[in-house]
Each structure stands twice: as C-alpha cells, then as structure tokens.
Amino acid sequence: MGVIERVKALISYLRKPAVTWSVLSLGGLGIVIGAVGVVGFEMSLTATNTESFCLSCHNHDIPNQALQMTSHYNNRTGVRPVCADCHVPHAFIPKMIRKVQASQEVLSHLLGTIDTPEKYMARVEHMKEKEIARLRSSDSAPCRHCHDVKHMDFSVQTAKAQDYHRSMASKGKTCIDCHQGIAHDYQLKGEKTLPEG
C-alpha cells in the first residue's frame, strides 16, 4: 500500500461515524476543548502572577511593606516589578516547577506557619536563604529579565560597581551575590524588625 492509499484510508477512517458522531467531528471537538483548556490555563497562570493575588495570602503584607522602602518600589524611572517578576521564572518549564513549589507555600500559609508577623519574622532568614539559593541556581534569571549587564551604562556607575559588573562572569558571580536585600530589606538600624505600616 502506497502513501496516497494510506492517506485515503486514514481520511476514510476519520470520516466513519462513531455511534452518532464521526471521528473527524470528535477530533474537531477535542481541538476546541483543548484550545479552551490552554486559554483557561494561561489565564489562571496570569491571574496567579498578579500582585493582588500574591498579597491576598501568605501574610505578604510584611514583605510588601519592606518592598515599599526600596528602589524597586519607587524610583526615578517609574519601573516597578510585581511579586511574580522576581519570584516566578519567565520561561515555561521553570515557571511550572516554581508554581508546584509555591503550592507548598500555600499549604504553609493554610497551616499557619507564617500567619502572624512574629511567625513570619521568625522564618524570614530561612525564606531568604531559599530565595537566594533559587536565584543563584538560575544565574539570577529574574534579575536579568529586566537588568542586562550588556546594556548597562557603566559611565553612570561608581568605579566599584563598574568593576563588579564587568567581571561578574569571570569571577563566577551573579546579581544576588551583591544585591541581597535589594527588594526586601528587613534589617533596619541593624535589627531584624518589621517595617512600619
């Protein structure tokens, strides 16, 4: 049987009725359901990446207050990342892995692990270490999504910053190695304290 005969046989098979619907109709329905599923999935990903979603649980008012005291919140350029810009990878597979990991954080919230400011602050160092390790393992991919060393204007940086940025790769360094606390700095006046609301 040649290729043309095989194609004709396949088309004939797809046109056969399956009880009351043809296989072709069922395939078309499957495509429509699949498309609706993909669109719904993307919409749910987008919804769970919003700042309002993040702030709705996890006792996130504490890190949000800490964020508001940094240049990532108010700055001369008016660019302000939301939670997901730093805490959710932009590439699909790493994003899905992070979403699964985040489900454990939701469970911690529901179990009351960090449901009070005191509990939150007691675990802040642990959470910080996890985030720093995650950023290091991705070569600070969330940082690099907005900040590209190749496009930095070194002439407006201090000599020390220029040296660090130019030699990052050769020294095996990544953004988070020098910029810890850039978005959530709980160390106020040398003490671990809550930002005032």
- Domain regions of the chain by residue span: 1-47, 54-192
Q: What is the pLDDT of residue 43?
A: 93
Contact 61, 197 (CB under 8 A): yes
Residue with more model confidence, 18 or 166: 166
Q: What is the pLDDT of residue 137?
A: 92
Which structure tokens are listed for 25? 């109709």
pLDDT band (50, 70, 90) for residue 105:
confident
The residue count of the chain comes to 197
Specify the pTM. Answer: 0.69
Q: What letter would DSSP give residue 147?
A: -
Q: What is the pLDDT of residue 149?
A: 85
Q: Taking 60 as the threshold, does the pLDDT of residue 191 lie above it?
A: no
Overall average pLDDT of the 102-126 stretch: 84
Using alpha carbons, select from 104, 102, 172 the residue that is nearest to residue 140: 172
pLDDT in tens, 28-37: 999 999 999 9
Q: Taking 60 as the threshold, does the pLDDT of residue 169 lie above it?
A: yes
Overall average pLDDT of the 3-17 stretch: 84
Average model confidence (pLDDT) across the chain:
84
Q: Lowest mean pLDDT of 7-11, 26-30, 46-50, 115-119, name the range.
A: 115-119
Q: Taking 60 as the threshold, does the pLDDT of residue 84 lie above it?
A: yes
Q: Taking 50 as the threshold, does the pLDDT of residue 158 lie above it?
A: yes
Topology (CATH) of 54-192: Multiheme cytochrome fold (1.10.3820)
Q: Taking 50 as the threshold, does the pLDDT of residue 188 lie above it?
A: no
Q: What is the pLDDT of residue 57?
A: 72
Q: What is the pLDDT of residue 58?
A: 59
Using alpha carbons, select from 151, 187, 192, 176 the residue that is nearest to residue 87: 176
- Residue 161 falls in which region: left (phi positive, over 0), alpha (psi -120 to 50) or beta: alpha
Using alpha carbons, select from 19, 43, 45, 14 the residue that is nearest to residue 30: 14
Q: What is the CA radius of gyration of the chain?
A: 25
